[in-house]
Amino acid sequence: EIRDSLEKLRSLPIVAESGARLVLSDVADLRITDGPPMLRSENARLSGWVYVDIRGRDLRSAVQDMQKTVTEKVVLPAGYSVSWSGQFEFLERATAKLKIAVPFTLLIIFVLLFLTFKRFDEAVLIMATLPFALVGGIWLLYLLNYNLSVAGAVGFIALAGLSAEFGVIMLLYLKQAWELRIAQGKTSTEDLLDAIREGAVLRVRPKAMTVAVILAGLFPIMWGTGTGSEVMQRIAAPMVGGMMTAPLLSMFVVPAVYLLMRRSKEPREKPV
């Protein structure tokens, strides 16, 4: 009842440390003002929260624009500060982790390639094709109007693994066909071309089946509408787009580059 009346609060009796009897208005100025319904603290500091719901654009650029506006137009009193939390804070943490995870993943792929082929140039060949294999994923994100996010980065990491696998298997078939020619004493340029044609053609049907199975598993995710479907769609989109370019790259570019590499290293048939 006392809290409902400002006059009753002002006349509320209190006892000072010296034992003197006072009323609350003697030691405090009581008045009604607008303020937050409750006091919150963050890291032992009083804090106020402003909730922002962002639609129609990516979170990072929106926060960057807001930070710029606040810096230019808001003058904070001494002792006050502004921090950005919520999904943006989680995004920043995930981005920092991806800056470590992505290079580490590529390093692991390169080491495994080197251990497989025992040749530095062949490992570099597979790694050099990865950026071009990701083009399809980038284009599909653009066509679907998806912003690059943590989920999209996870999809690109998975696509990089699949692209490396396509290149590895293609290169293994090419090497086997060429080594068989060498064992038969056929080391001319025409024999090299025949070996590359044979190795590349052997991979067409298995690769087509692999791509079909992967797409069959990803299309339901792209069309899903349940809980969490938005995140899963952004993971699957780079992989679906990459399945359009990565197989073509491994079937055409890898054999062509392998031909150039072998032409400069293998003995040619000398003219008579």
223-268 residue pLDDT tens: 877 777 888 888 899 999 998 888 888 888 888 888 888 876 655 4
| pTM for the model | 0.66
The structural domains of the chain, with segments of one domain joined by +, span 87-263
pLDDT band at residue 139 under the 50/70/90 scheme: very high
Q: What are the residue ranges of helices labelled H in 118-228?
A: 120-133, 135-143, 150-183, 189-202, 204-223
Buried b (16+ CB within 10 A) or exposed e, 108-140: ebbeebbeebeeeebbebbbebbeebbebbbeb
Contacts with 57 (C-beta within 8 Å, 6 or more apart), sequence order: 147
φ, ψ for residue 204 (rounded to 5)?
-65, -55
Of 1.10.645.10, 1.20.1640.10, 3.40.1190.20, 3.40.50.10140, the CATH number of 87-263 is 1.20.1640.10
Cβ pair 84, 63 in contact under 8 A:
yes
CA distance 184 to 173: 17
| pLDDT at residue number 226 | 76
Instruction: Give the SS3 label for residue 40.
Output: strand
11-63: per-residue pLDDT in tens?
888 888 888 888 888 888 888 887 767 777 777 777 878 888 887 777 778 88
Containing H/E element for 241?
helix 229-248
- Give the DSSP letter of residue 264: T
The answer, yes or no, to whether residue 85 has pLDDT greater than 50, is: yes
For a pLDDT cut of 90, what percent of the chain falls above it? Answer: 3
- Give the DSSP letter of residue 194: H
Containing H/E element for 238?
helix 229-248
| pLDDT at residue number 272 | 37
Cβ pair 182, 197 in contact under 8 A:
no
Q: Provide the mean pLDDT of the chain.
A: 83
